[in-house]
Amino acid sequence: MKTLRYRSRGQEVYFLEELLQKLGYEVYVSTYFGLDTNNAVKDFQQKNNLVVDGIVGLKTWSKLLAQENQIFDANSKLLSEQDLIDFAQRYDLELAAVKAVNEIESNGKGFLVGDKPRILFEGHIFWRQLEAKGIDPKNYVSDESANVLYKKWTRIYYVGGLGEYDRMNKAAALGDHPDFKASAQASASWGMFQIMGYHFKSLGYTSVDAFVEKMFEHEREHLAAFGKFLEVNKLLKHLRSKNWAAFARGYNGPGYAANKYDIKLAKAYAKYS
């Protein structure tokens, strides 16, 4: 594993923070090695008779992995080269373009440590989903529900990793009616390409439950949902023409330029082509 330290970035940091969270540390699971992670690593090192330096090298990785006994066989659920080739052929796309999108627009991996797909729960979407089902969300607002039910978008309640399942399940339990569970599932983004659950109908799934079941199966299903999303939202033409700005705008919204998604896509395409 890559050696990590304070201010490191990347998917390896996400994996590290997943492990720490599962071991009981209150860290925000992201791709940034912040002070919370630094403190957790030092505490872990102290408790495991390691040099307390906050650097996650071979010895610290070994101790972490030895204590984590639920790591699944990653290769059983990961995309293969052939999956991307099949996707390119199905949608009449250049393989280099598919690989560029897979690198930039996906989250690197579709599953958490264990067997659950990555999710991010959005409390403001949950508010809207309840309203759409004729449920007044204001009747369920309280100090206890503040981190899962709110009217406007905010990132302050994100915890990342398995903690997002805790938030989603908490939202689902706010009411006994099945609509609460369906609304909660529809309010999370799922898998490698973080497709929102409420898109299930437009993507051809019979229910949000059916969509979620597919997300648990394999990263191949994440890619399939992504393909349907591109098709429904008429983004394939931009991939075929390599119009990266139009593609990024359609997929990431008007903020794509600030994050340089179009530039990143162009560079990734140049690399693969």
- Structure confidence by residue, pLDDT tens digits, 191-212: 999 999 999 999 999 999 999 9
Domain that residue 15 falls in:
11-67
Q: How many domains does the chain have?
A: 1
CATH of the domain at 58: 1.10.101.10
In a domain, 23, yes or no: yes
Q: Let me know if residue 81 belongs to a domain.
A: no
pLDDT tens digits for range 7-37? 999 889 999 999 999 899 999 999 999 999 9
* 217 in a structural domain: no
**247 lies in a domain?**
no
Asked whether residue 58 is domain-assigned, the answer is yes
Instruction: Give the model's confidence band at 109: pLDDT under 50 very low, under 70 low, under 90 confident, else very high.
Output: confident
Would you say the C-alpha torsion 47, 49, 54, 57 has a positive or negative sign?
A: negative
Question: Does some domain include residue 155?
Answer: no
> Does residue 250 lie in a domain region?
no
Residue 154 pLDDT grade (very low, low, confident, very high; cuts 50, 70, 90): very high
Q: For residue 152, tell me if it sits in a domain.
A: no
Task: Determine if the pTM surpasses 0.85.
Answer: no
Question: 3-state secondary structure string, the chain?
Answer: CCCECCCCECHHHHHHHHHHHHCCCCCCCCCECCHHHHHHHHHHHHHCCCCCCCCECHHHHHHHHHHCCCCCCHHHCCCCHHHHHHHHHHCCCCHHHHHHHHHHHCCCCCECCCCCECEEECHHHHHHHHHHCCCCHHHHCCCCCCCCCCCCCCCCCCCCCCHHHHHHHHHHCCCCCHHHHHHHHHCEEECCCCEEHHHCCCCCCCCHHHHHHHHHHCHHHHHHHHHHHHHHCCCHHHHHHCCHHHHHHHHHCHHHCCCCHHHHHHHHHHHHC
- pLDDT by residue (tens digit) across 165-179? 999 999 999 999 999
User: Token pair of 244, please?
Assistant: 């990266």
For residues 71 and 29, what is the distance between their CA atoms, to the nearest angstrom? 17
